[in-house]
Amino acid sequence: MLEEALLLLKKYYGYPAFRPGQQKIITSILEGRDTLGIMPTGGGKSICYQIPALMLPGTTLVISPLISLMKDQVDALTSLGIPAAFINSSLAPREVRERILEAAQGQYKLLYVAPERLESELFRSQLYSLTIPLVAVDEAHCVSQWGHDFRPSYLSIAQLIADLPQRPVLTAFTATATEAVVVDIGNNLYLRNPNLYLTGFDRANLAYTVLRGVDKREFLLKYLQENRQQSGIIYAATRKEVDQLHQLLTQKGFSVGRYHAGLSDVERSRGQESFLYDDLRIMVATNAFGMGIDKSNVRFVIHYNMPKNMEAYYQEAGRAGRDGEPSECILLFGAQDIQVQKFLIEQGQTAPDRKAGEYKKLQVMADYCHTTRCLREFILQYFGEQTETDNCANCSNCNNDGELIDITVVAQKIFSCIKRMREMFGLTLVAEVLKGSNSKKVLHNRFDTLSTFGLLKEYTLKEISDLIKVLAAEGYIKLTEGQYPVAKLESKALAVLKNEVKVWQRVMHPKERAVDNTLFELLRQLRKELSQQAKIPPYMVFTDSTLREMSQTLPLDEQALLAVGGVGEVKLQAYGKRCLELIRSYAAQQSTAKHVVKASEQASHFLTLELFREGKSLREIARERNLKLLTVQDHLIRCSLEGDVVNWDALIQTEYEQLILSKAAELGAEKLKPLKEALPAEVDYFTIKAVLCKHNSAG
């Protein structure tokens, strides 16, 4: 049974082994047990029911919440050579009857259905003609009133199961579920003694960052400029904010679309499709966007405003890096975000007890934005998962990126000025007084006679205005509502004026980017061309992680290409020839210069090696050079691969060295993931790479 499942996994999906949790879930389903799988976004939930669907007789029914999600799933399956179809409101009644008939004739292995369809007794009766061995409920948290996206139509699933001539195996999947939601899923779907599999909420490839007190627009423009070639999503709290950001980014020349419930169906659909096909790099959206997005190469998700709860944040942020490649999740927090979310809660038509629950969850989200401990640990513990370490080395708190600067004196000058202006004017006029401007308004109000006049004359007006915005975002200053907001002091500011507390600002340093992506970008261009020919989104041709592996391993024949993760027999036949032509051409051009890199990049990783040779630890080097620990580790690996001598013994724990070598001899060293899974949990990827580098250079 398992052997057949592995053969299908490699044949259709191009992977030699299942991800953590997949094998147990698939085995449970094939043994006929109801199964509840809680897996992180990008954790491979779909394969857990698609593989059994290929092995079981008849047609597997998949309950899926969004039209776009169904279409993407069906397109992806069809591109793999797996017969599938969907039924939703986009089809005419005649088309629905035709697809039901085709499914009854055995033409589809999977049939995707919207939950709203199940509310119709007529439609449920049409399904009785099908042989349905398995029903898979996607986004199963929607069945719970305590979930963050409750949908009453999900309650019709239990009735469908009860009415079918023969009860199928029932499976349910979600990425976000607290203990209360898990109980609701089991009860509302009438799962029979289900096997529960929690594969963990951790997404190690995601770097979490919370930034407080930054100029959001300035940060956004700078970040997008530095990441122009990457796909990303920007979430905002309101339609108005989405429209304003879309207009700003369009004016600045970015390839950007927008998505919210106030747009027409046509505009939303067109924008989403353009984003999926990489015709648009950026999507600015409310939380209405995303559940139906299966796009694997989203490299960043930026929350321009704090979302309403941790479930929503985890799911939205989790749309980054579904292919396992390093990706960023950045939350830009401002004090006004809390007020916006409170307003939205009050506007909602919810029962008092549910509203109280929403306020409680909002407070948890606010705590996340202010916590000084590991952000990853905070998220995991919220979902009931214990962590083994309080430092993930991949979030803004653990990395401590940037430098903390004491701005107490400057803040006191600003607060004092606002107070002396009787808290009756806006930040622009406050900035002019502090600058020492002789503008008409300053002179008319005789603010040039104030003791705070010109106290910050060494700053530009923009710098002073930005500082006031930072202090407002941190909750020291309140800007009133309206077209001309007035600056008023909060209690926190009064404590600063009394010298009871200090004010700190974190100055972020730009990240170092030192990777040669030449072949990867060429492969991305080819993927785009192939996707246009096949009329499917680029990520359905190959994911970024597959292209990355190609660019690193340089497969020059079909057998080597088939060994790349994500290249199955169907894709090898469809796209292999073009990919091999490109890789062979690139390899030939590089034959006389194996390591073509920019001089600045070469100097960067060599400088890390020099500091290491001076006896500094990797963490000391990371702090000194304002780099992530992972970047420093990669620098040493790169130096070793280029022939430089690295003292690996100073970094490798001797008790693991022979164990790693033994497992490498047993499993091979071409792919690190099987090695990592076969070794003790405390052995990280860097240790494995270090051991392999040491013995490769010695040999």
Per-residue pLDDT reduced to its tens digit, 116-133: 888 888 888 888 889 999
Q: In this model, does residue 8 exceed pLDDT 80?
A: yes
Cα 536 to Cα 532: distance, rounded to the nearest angstrom: 7
pLDDT for 120:
86
Task: Copy the structure tokens of residue 241.
Answer: 């904010």
- Fold for 2-198, please state it: Rossmann fold (3.40.50)
DSSP-assigned letters across all residues of 11-27: III--SSPPTTHHHHHH
Percent of the chain clearing pLDDT 90 (strictly above): 33
Residue type present at position 122: L
pLDDT band of 599, cuts 50, 70, 90: very low
Q: Per DSSP, what are the bridge partners of residue 35?
A: 171, 195
pLDDT of residue 55: 95
* DSSP structure string for 608-645: HHHHHHTT--HHHHHHHHT--HHHHHHHHHHHHHTT--
198, 38 contact by CB (below 8 A): yes
Q: How many helices (H) and strands (E) does the chain have?
A: 32, 17
CA 137 and chain centroid, separation: 22
Taking the model in full, what pTM does it have?
A: 0.59
- Is the pLDDT reported for residue 441 higher than 60? yes
Q: Directed axis angle between helix 352-370 and helix 310-317, to 10°?
A: 60
Average pLDDT for 197-207: 85
When pLDDT is averaged across residues 358-367 and rounded to a whole number, the result is 83
Tokens of 275: 């984003």
Parallel, antiparallel or unpaired: strands 84-87 and 169-174: unpaired
List 505's β-bridge partners, or say none. 405
| The pairing of beta strand 403-406 with beta strand 504-507 | antiparallel
Number of Cβ atoms within 10 Å of the Cβ of 387: 15
Position 48: which residue type?
Answer: C
What would the CATH number be for the domain defined by 518-590?
1.10.150.80
Helix H or strand E segment including 36: strand 35-38
DSSP per position, 263-319: S-HHHHHHHHHHHHTTSSSEEEE-TTSSTT---S-EEEEEESS--SSHHHHHHHHTT
DSSP H or E run through 197: strand 195-198
Band of the pLDDT at 479, cuts 50, 70, 90?
confident
Region at 677 (left for phi over 0; alpha for psi -120 to 50; beta for the rest): alpha
| Other CB atoms within 10 Å distance of the CB of residue 420 | 15
* pLDDT for 593: 45
Dist. CA 251–CA 232, nearest whole Å: 18
Beta-carbon-side half-sphere exposure of residue 288 (alpha carbons within 13 Å):
17
Q: What is the largest CA-CA distance in the chain?
A: 89
> So what's the pLDDT on residue 680?
81
Are 241 and 310 within 8 A, CB to CB? Answer: no
Fold of the 599-698 domain: Arc Repressor Mutant, subunit A (1.10.10)
Smallest CA-to-CA distance from 633 within 625, 350, 570 is with 625
What three-state secondary structure class fits 646? Answer: coil
Listed by start position, the domains of the chain span: 2-198, 206-399, 405-507, 518-590, 599-698
The secondary structure of 415-448 as a DSSP string is HHHHHHTTT-S-HHHHHHHHHT---HHHHHTTGG
CA angle, corner 275, sides to 269 and 281, nearest 5? 150
pLDDT of residue 514: 45
CATH topology of domain 206-399: Rossmann fold (3.40.50)
The C-alpha atoms of residue 147 and residue 177 are separated, in whole angstroms, by 7
Answer whether 206-399 and 599-698 agree in fold: no
Please give the mean pLDDT across all residues of the chain: 85
Neighbours of 188 (CB within 10 A): 17
| pLDDT number for residue 453 | 95
Angle among Cα 65, 70, 73 to the nearest 5 degrees reads: 130
> In this predicted model, what pLDDT tens digit does every residue of 606-651 receive, in sequence order?
788 888 887 888 888 888 887 778 888 888 888 887 777 888 888 8
Confidence tier at 586 by pLDDT (50, 70, 90): confident
Cβ partners under 8 Å of residue 7, min gap 6: none
**Structure confidence at residue 600 (pLDDT):** 40
Class of domain 405-507: mainly alpha
Phi, psi of 404 (to 5 degrees): -85, 125
Alpha-carbon gap, residue 575 to 553, rounded angstroms: 17
pLDDT of res. 481: 55
CA distance 659 to 650: 17
The pLDDT of residue 400 is 66
Residue 142 has a pLDDT of 85
Q: Residue 174 and residue 559: Cα distance in Å, rounded?
A: 36
Q: Answer whether residue 562 shows pLDDT above 80.
A: yes
